[in-house]
Structure 1
Amino acid sequence: MLSRGAAISLAIFCFVSFLFLFSKSGCSFQDQYQYGISLIQLPYFTNATEADNSNSSKFTDPPFQDPQNNIVPLTPRPPPSKDEVIDSGDDEVVGGENAMSYFRKLSGSTHDFLSSRSNTGQAMQILAAYSYKDHFSASISIPKKIGSIAFCRYIGANGTEVAEPVESRVYPFFVVYCSRRNKVTMLGVTNDKSEPITAANSALLIRRKFKEYQHNVSFCLAPIYGKEPKWLHFVELVEHYKLQGVNKFFIYIREIGDYDKKMIDSYVKSGEVEIVNIPGTVSDVIAQQLMGVADCLLRSRTYSKWSIFADIDERLIMTDDRMTIDGFMRSITDESIGSVAFPQRWIMKREHIPEKFESDQQVIEKMPTRAWHETTSAALKGHPLCQEQVSCWGKDIVHNEKAIRMLVHEVVEFYPGFRELFLDPSIGYIRHYRDVKMQSWEANNVANLRKFGPFSNTTYPNSIGTKLLKNVLNRLHRVYD
Structure 2
Amino acid sequence: MRQSIDFSGKGTSTSVTSLPVDSVFRKIFLKNATELLIYDVAAGEKPSYGECAIEDWNNVTSDAIENEELHKKWAARGTGNMPNLAEGELRVVSAFVYKTEIVVTTTAENRFGKTVYCRYFDCNRVEIPNSTFQSYMFPMTSAYCGRRAGAKFVGLTEDRYAEAIDPAPITFRIYEKPVHEIAVCVGPIYGKESRWLEIVETTEHHMLLGIQYFYHTVFDEMDSYTRKLLDEYQRLGTAEVTVIQTEYKLMDWMFHMMQINDCFYRARHHSKWILNVDIDERLVMHRMPLLSYLRTVDDNIGEISFAAGKIQRNRELPKEYTDTDSLYEQLLFLNSNTTAQTMYMGMKALIRPDITDALFYHWTWAQKPGVRIITASKKLGYIRHYRTTLPSLVRTWIRHELKFKTTRLNASFEEKLSNAIIKRVKRVYEKRPIFCEEIPENLLKAFTKDNYHCEWKNNGTAFGA
Q: Same fold (TM over 0.5)?
A: yes
Contact 2:269 2:353 in 1 (8 A): yes
RCO greater where, 1 or 2, for CA within 8 Å and sep 6 or more? 1
Shift of the alpha carbon at 1:464? 1.3
Structure 1 residues 102 and 205, CA gap change in structure 2 (3 angstroms): same
> 2: distance between equivalents of 1:426 and 1:134?
40
User: Residue 343 of structure 2 aligns to a residue in which SS?
Assistant: coil
Say whether the 8 Å CA contact 2:302–2:352 is kept in structure 1: yes
Q: 1:445 aligns with which of 397, 400, 411?
A: 397
For 1:109-188, list aligned pairs within 5 A. Answer: 109-110=77-78, 114-119=82-87, 122=89, 124-158=90-124, 159-188=126-155
SS at match of 2:392: helix
- Aligned pairs for 1:289-300 (under 5 A) are 289-300=256-267
* In structure 2, distance between residues paired with 1:417 and 1:336: 7
Other-structure match for 1:75: none
Quote the residue 2:178 is aligned against.
213
Aligned residues of 1:162 and 1:183 also touching (Cα < 8 A): no
Q: Which amino acid counterpart does residue 196 of structure 1 have in structure 2?
A: E
Contact 2:81–2:140 (Cα < 8 Å) also in 1: no
Cα 1:163/1:406, change in 2 over 3 Å: same
TM-score (norm 1): 0.73
Gaps of 5+ in 1: 1-82, 381-391
Distance 1:467 1:86 in 2: 48
Q: Deviations over 1:150-187 (max 9, x none)?
A: 11112223412243322211111110111223232221
Trace 1:232-311 onto structure 2 (pairs within 5 A): 232-254=197-219, 255-281=221-247, 285-311=252-278
Q: 1:85: how far off?
A: 11
Q: Deviations over 1:11-63 (max 9, x none)?
A: xxxxxxxxxxxxxxxxxxxxxxxxxxxxxxxxxxxxxxxxxxxxxxxxxxxxx
Q: Among residues 445, 460, 467, which one is paired with 2:409 in the alignment?
A: 460
Match of 1:396 in 2: 349
Deviation (angstroms), 1:399: 0.4
* Aligned partner letter, 1:105: K
| Structure 1 equivalent of residue 303 of structure 2 | 339
Q: Deviations over 1:392-420 (max 9, x none)?
A: 21111110101110111111111222132
CA distance, structure 1, for counterparts of residue 160 and residue 113 of structure 2: 16
1:207-252 deviations in whole A, cap 9, x for unaligned? 1001121100011111112343211111111111111111211110
Mapped to 1, the partners of 2:185 and 2:325 lie a distance apart of 30
**Match status 1:472 vs 2:421:** yes
Q: Measured at CA, do residues 460 and 358 of structure 1 come closer, stay the same or move farther in structure 2, by a change above 3 Å?
A: same
Look up the equivalent residue of 1:449 and give its one-letter code: E
Task: State the alpha-carbon separation in 1 of the partners of residues 394 and 165 from structure 2.
Answer: 43
Please tell me whether residue 196 in structure 1 is matched to residue 163 in structure 2. yes
Contact 1:229 1:260 in 2 (8 A): yes
The verdict on how the C-alpha distance between 1:216 and 1:460 changes in structure 2, with shifts beyond 3 A counting, is same
Cα deviation, residue 116, structure 1:
4.5
Does structure 2 retain, via aligned residues, the 8 Å contact 1:141–1:281?
A: no
CA, structure 1 residues 170+477, in 2 after alignment: closer, same or farther (shift >3 Å)? Answer: same
- 8 Å contact 1:154–1:163 — kept in the other structure? no
Q: Which whole-Å CA distance do the structure 1 matches of 2:241 and 2:135 have between them?
A: 29
Unmatched runs of 5 consecutive residues or more in structure 2: 1-55, 431-465
Question: Cα deviations across residues 47-91 of structure 1 (Å, max 9, x unaligned)?
Answer: xxxxxxxxxxxxxxxxxxxxxxxxxxxxxxxxxxxx979969672
Check the 8 A contact 1:142/1:281 in 2, yes or no: no
Measure, in 2, the Cα distance between the counterparts of 1:436 and 1:87: 53
